[in-house]
Copies of this chain bind each other. A is one copy, B any other.
Amino acid sequence: MTRPSGRMPDELRKIELQINVNKHAEGSCFIKCGDTHVLCTATVEEKVPMWLKNAGHGWVTAEYGMLPRATGTRVDREAKKGQSGRTQEIQRLIGRALRAGVNLKAIDGLQIKIDCDVIQADGGTRTASVTGGFVALYLACQKLLRSGKIKTMPIQQMVAAVSCGICGGVPVLDLDYTEDSNAGTDANFVMTDKNTLIEVQGTAEHGAFTPDELTQLMNLAQKGIQELITKQKEVLSI
Interface residues of A (CB under 8 A from B): 22-25, 28, 35, 39, 41, 43, 45, 63, 65, 67-72, 74, 77-80, 82-89, 91-92, 96, 100, 113, 115, 117, 119-120, 122, 157, 187, 192, 194-204, 207-211, 214-215, 218, 222
Q: Could you say which residues of chain B place their CB within 8 Å of the CB of A196?
A: 204, 207-210
Nearest opposing residue in chain B for A219, CB measure: B211
Cβ contact within 8 Å between B208 and A120: no
Copy number in the complex reads 6
Cβ contact within 8 Å between A23 and B215: no
Q: Could you say which residues of chain B place their CB within 8 Å of the CB of A201?
A: 199-202
* A63, A91, A211 pick with most chain B CB within 10 angstroms: A211
CB distance from A8 to the nearest CB of B (A): 22
Nearest opposing residue in chain B for A72, CB measure: B24
